[in-house]
Structure 1
Amino acid sequence: MGRRVTRTLTPEDRAVSPYLEIPFEVAPGTPSIEVRLTFDRDRGVVDLGCAGAGAFRGWSGGARSRFVIGADAATPGYLPGELEPGRWAVVLGLHRIPADGLDVVVEIDTPASGPAEIEPPPPPRPQRRPRRRLPSDAGFTWVAGDFHAHTVHSDGTLGRAQLAALAVEEGLDVLAVTDHNTVSHHAGLGAIGDQYGVTLVPGQEVTTDRGHANAFGAVRWVDFRQHPDAWVSQVADDGGLLSVNHPLAADCAWHHQLEAPPPLAEIWHWSWLDRRWSGPLAWWNAWGWETIPVGGSDFHSPEQGRSLAEPLTWVAIERHSPDDGPVPFEAVIDALRLGRTAVAAGYDAPVLLRVDDEFVAVGADGTALIDAEGRRRPVHGDLVRFPAAPGPHRLEAPDAAVVAISP
Structure 2
Amino acid sequence: MSNFDLTRRNLLRAGGVVAAGAAVNFLPGVAFANPPSSTGQQTKTVTGTFTPSISDWFYLPVQVPKGVNQIDVSYTYDKPAVPAGTRGNACDIGMFGPEGHDLGNAKGFRGWSGGFRNSFSISATEATPGYLAGPIKPGTWHVILGPYTVAPQGLNYSVTITLHFGPQGAPFRANPAPTSAPAKQRGRSWYRGDCHLHTVHSDGRRTPDQLVADARAAGLDFVVSTEHNTPSAHLQWGNYATDDLLIINGEEVTTRSGHWPAIGLPAGEWIDWRYRAGDPADFRHFVDRVHKLGGLVTAAHPFANCFGCTYEFAYEIADLVEVWNGPWTDDDQASVTHWDGLLRGGRFIPAIGNSDAHNSDQVVGKPHTVVLADSLRKEHLLAGLKAGRSWLAESSAVQLSFTASVPGRTADIGGRLPAEIGTPVTVTAVVGGVPGTTVTILDQLGPEHSETVPESGTATVTWTTYPRYSRWVRAEVRRPAAGSSPLTAPMVAMTNPIFLGRN
Task: Return the TM-score normalized by structure 2.
Answer: 0.68
Residue 107 of structure 1 aligns with an amino acid whose one-letter code is T
- SS of structure 1 residue aligned to 2:380: helix
Q: Tell me what 1:390 maps to.
A: 472
Q: Residue 229 of structure 1: CA displacement?
A: 2.0
Matched, 1:106 2:164: no
| Aligned CA-pair RMSD | 2.7
Aligned ranges 1:261-276 → 2 under 5 Å: 261-270=317-326, 272-273=328-329
Q: Tell me what 2:352 maps to.
A: 294
Matched, 1:203 2:250: yes
Greater relative contact order (Cα 8 A, min sep 6): structure 1 or 2? 1
CA distances 1:166-189 after superposition (whole Å, capped 9, x unpaired): 111111111111110000000132
Q: Residue 340 of structure 1: CA displacement?
A: 1.7
CA distance, structure 2, for counterparts of residue 228 and residue 112 of structure 1: 40
Q: Residue 41 of structure 1: CA displacement?
A: 4.7
Aligned ranges 1:250-329 → 2 under 5 Å: 250-251=305-306, 252-258=308-314, 260-270=316-326, 272-273=328-329, 278-288=333-343, 289-302=347-360, 305-318=361-374, 320=375, 327-329=376-378
Q: Residue 69 of structure 1: CA displacement?
A: 0.7
Q: Tell me what 1:125 maps to.
A: none
Q: Tell me what 1:331 maps to.
A: 380
CA distance, structure 2, for counterparts of residue 112 and residue 367 of structure 1: 66
CA distance, structure 1, for counterparts of residue 403 and residue 146 of structure 2: 43
Q: Tell me what 2:105 maps to.
A: none
Q: Considering only CA atoms, is the larger Rg found in Structure 1 or Structure 2?
A: 2
Q: Tell me what 2:48 maps to.
A: 7
Alpha carbons 2:322, 2:354 under 8 Å: kept? yes
Q: Aligned to 2:431, which of 352, 362, 368?
A: 362
CA distances 1:190-216 after superposition (whole Å, capped 9, x unpaired): 453235x21111111111232001010
Q: Tell me what 2:72 maps to.
A: 34
Structure-2 change in CA distance of 1:268 and 1:281 (3 Å): same
Alpha carbons 1:32, 1:70 under 8 Å: kept? yes
CA distance, structure 2, for counterparts of residue 67 and residue 48 of structure 1: 10
Aligned ranges 1:56-135 → 2 under 5 Å: 56-111=109-164
How many residues are paired up? 371
Q: Residue 225 of structure 1: CA displacement?
A: 0.4
CA distance, structure 1, for counterparts of residue 285 and residue 320 of structure 2: 16
Alpha carbons 2:303, 2:310 under 8 Å: kept? yes
Alpha carbons 1:350, 1:403 under 8 Å: kept? no
Is there any run of 5+ residues in structure 1 with no aligned partner, and where?
Answer: 117-130, 132-137, 321-326
CA distance, structure 1, for counterparts of residue 193 and residue 142 of structure 2: 38
Matched, 1:186 2:234: yes
Alpha carbons 1:343, 1:406 under 8 Å: kept? yes
CA distance, structure 2, for counterparts of residue 160 and residue 201 of structure 1: 13
CA distance, structure 1, for counterparts of residue 402 and residue 97 of structure 2: 47
CA distances 1:273-325 after superposition (whole Å, capped 9, x unpaired): 259x84222211344441111111111111xx32111112111121x4xxxxx
CA distances 1:68-110 after superposition (whole Å, capped 9, x unpaired): 0111100000011112322111111111111111111001111
225-234 or 169-178: which moved more? Answer: 225-234
CA distance, structure 2, for counterparts of residue 139 and residue 74 of structure 1: 39
Alpha carbons 1:141, 1:316 under 8 Å: kept? yes
Q: Tell me what 1:347 maps to.
A: 396
CA distance, structure 1, for counterparts of residue 447 and residue 213 of structure 2: 42
CA distance, structure 2, for counterparts of residue 240 and residue 312 of structure 1: 19
Alpha carbons 1:352, 1:361 under 8 Å: kept? yes
Q: Residue 380 of structure 1: CA displacement?
A: 6.5
Q: Residue 259 of structure 1: CA displacement?
A: 8.0
CA distance, structure 2, for counterparts of residue 140 and residue 105 of structure 1: 55
Q: Tell me what 2:442 maps to.
A: 371
Alpha carbons 2:79, 2:155 under 8 Å: kept? no
Report percent identity of matched pairs: 32
Q: Tell me what 1:246 maps to.
A: 301
CA distances 1:373-405 after superposition (whole Å, capped 9, x unpaired): 214223466252647962543234555123321
Residue 331 of structure 1 aligns with an amino acid whose one-letter code is H
CA distance, structure 2, for counterparts of residue 191 and residue 80 of structure 1: 16
CA distances 1:223-249 after superposition (whole Å, capped 9, x unpaired): 100332223111111110010110011
Matched, 1:229 2:273: no
Alpha carbons 1:228, 1:256 under 8 Å: kept? no
CA distance, structure 2, for counterparts of residue 250 and residue 396 of structure 1: 23
Q: Aligned to 1:142, which of 163, 167, 190?
A: 190
Alpha carbons 2:67, 2:165 under 8 Å: kept? no
Residue 244 of structure 1 aligns with an amino acid whose one-letter code is A
CA distance, structure 1, for counterparts of residue 149 and residue 141 of structure 2: 24
- SS of structure 1 residue aligned to 2:220: coil
Matched, 1:212 2:259: yes
Matched, 1:20 2:45: no
Alpha carbons 1:229, 1:258 under 8 Å: kept? no
CA distance, structure 2, for counterparts of residue 348 and residue 71 of structure 1: 46
Q: Tell me what 2:278 maps to.
A: none
- SS of structure 2 residue aligned to 1:167: helix
- SS of structure 2 residue aligned to 1:144: strand
